[in-house]
Structure 1
């Protein structure tokens, strides 16, 4: 083989490794049909390659309404469809999640918390696999509580850390604890940070994200129905988190990071901060201000997608 042929072979292997979606479940190949129950889709009922084979960006957030607004926004940014075009919910046969598509962009809701987003990710990753997609990026866009940041800042997650500030997700499998890495792709995070700087519209930072199991006690709040600790206890914990590099707190990043790592998909999490938790527990900004904050991750991701597609 010539040196050129050897180089091409190496390049081909590199490209294959970069683009492949690894689904680490040998049982799938023995299934006659794969029913993606919570998305109301399936290999026996839908032509998944025809419907979704062009997907390059999976953008997800908690709220169905927010995802519908995002798909309308990104379609306008990419000049897909006509002004006023409607984008139907592709999994309207279920009320668990909502899914919308505009060209290479898939936008879908994930609900609240790690169990909810894990179910969605299991099925959407299988969807991408069945559709023979390649070079896919998964991005969670959301809201969070900041630690030491001004409200409205957008945090791009470097590591999703647990309650002990370790970059790992504990998953119980067959009654045993399995620990999974929760580092997110550094190059993708840096690329998103550059996009934030180019926008010049709001503060954008990279930092660790504390991923918790609930909204109240797990996040050291004093305003839940149950609280067994003092305000001093709370402040000591939040300051320890800040010293460990934690910039914000939310409830899904650990699952996103772990599942992307296991399947070879490049993933990112970017959340806007609605308040500084070192100054209080309850959100006091007006509805109008909060709506503007919620648009910031979408604007950053929109800028990123346009750059990736050469639209800038």
Structure 2
């Protein structure tokens, strides 16, 4: 079976699945970086109702998102502190309200990959079905007004190719980075319904670095000119790249392997053609960072409302 194919349960639901026969030999599966495990926690009871997972780099931002979504869904408890489910570790933070799970993933491909391995296993052990997962975050735009939200059509590498490469046992393994186009179009439609901020669908370039890997001129090292930078970013734009971040490729690849319906929604904090450093005020940047939360919150509320009336 193609790993990207979704597995149907007897009821017609889509289950989250793993591809590792070695897991069957484990007495207990310890999700070390979450401080959770099959032997210490009742994962189906804790997470079995999860239908939406939102992930983002910052623990603070993911707590803010769960507070926001709780209010949007009318599940807000004035006395609730929304405890961090992963309080036993300082690697990641996890929050839950109703069918929505909010998880931080840190910065860069290695950090989000570790989190996703354990998140996918958690959803598998909890017997979750019909799960939609969305990365919400920030990015640098190319030729877009700061504050524009980009819904990723396809994640590409720094050579503008739609692939994620990983060395496994000394061999380079190449994986597909396609995301769910139907989900992307639904999110774009939600933005039109909100009519609060500009939103586009485009390719997202995923890099291994924030400075040289993104053609910045302000790192500790730089061996190229302003013209070199502009030429490179213009080539990226010609290849359909709208924004640059550091997690989308492995996110897309791993979600496709596990059959998860996935999307990436990132706001642009600046136009990289006009500069490298973030010089907007804290208030402006904070308002930009709320935009992916607002869009995804609207999408979740819309789907849950429709399901309640069906």
Encode CA deviations 1:2-51: one digit per residue, 9 max, x unaligned: xxxxxxxxxx9688676121201111111111000000000000000000
Aligned equivalent of 2:66:
71
> Which residue does the alignment assign to 1:36?
31
State the alpha-carbon separation in 2 of the partners of residues 293 and 140 from structure 1.
Answer: 16
Deviations 1:159-217 (CA, angstroms, capped at 9, x unpaired): 00001101000011001100000010000000011011111000000000000000000
Tell me, yes or no, if the aligned pair for 2:17 and 2:120 is still in contact at 8 Å: no
Shift of 1:242: 0.1
Q: Does residue 263 of the first structure (1) align with residue 258 of the second (2)?
A: yes
Deviations for 1:106-140, whole angstroms, at most 9, x for unmatched residues? Answer: 00100000100000000010000000000001110
Separation in structure 2 between the aligned mates of residue 14 and residue 149 of structure 1, nearest angstrom: 43
Shift of 1:84: 4.4
Secondary structure of the corresponding residue to residue 142 of structure 1:
strand
- The corresponding residue for 2:43 is 48
Aligned to 2:171: 176
CA contact (8 A) 1:76 1:83 kept: no
CA RMSD of aligned residues (A): 1.5
- Correspondence 1:2-17 to 2 at 5 A: none
Aligned to 1:80: 75
- 1:64, 1:98 within 8 Å by CA — same for their partners in 2? yes
The counterpart of 2:140, out of the listed 140, 145, 155, is 145
TM-score normalised to the size of structure 1?
0.94
Q: Is 1:60 paired with 2:55?
A: yes
SS at match of 1:192: helix
Change (3 A) 1:276 1:161: same
**Whole-angstrom CA distance in 2 between matches of 1:18 and 1:164:** 38
1:227 maps onto 2:206 in alignment: no
Listed as ranges, the matches of 1:73-222 within 5 Å are 73-222=68-217
**Equivalents in 1 of 2:218, 2:130: separation in Å?**
43
Q: Measure, in 2, the Cα distance between the counterparts of 1:304 and 1:108.
A: 18
Which consecutive aligned stretches of 4+ in structure 1 deviate over 2 angstroms post-superposition? 12-18
Q: Distance in 2 between matches of 1:144 and 1:299?
A: 17
Measure, in 2, the Cα distance between the counterparts of 1:205 and 1:93: 39
> 2:153·2:201 contact (CA, 8 Å) conserved in 1?
yes
Tell me the residue number matched to 1:7: none
2:247: which partner in 1? 252
Once the two structures are TM-superposed, the CA of residue 81 in structure 1 deviates from its matched residue by: 3.7
Over 3 Å counting, the alpha-carbon distance change for 1:174 and 1:16 in structure 2 is farther
2:163, 2:175 within 8 Å by CA — same for their partners in 1?
Answer: yes
Match of 2:298 among 280, 284, 303: 303
Larger mean CA deviation between 159-168 and 81-90 belongs to: 81-90
TM-score by length of 2: 0.95
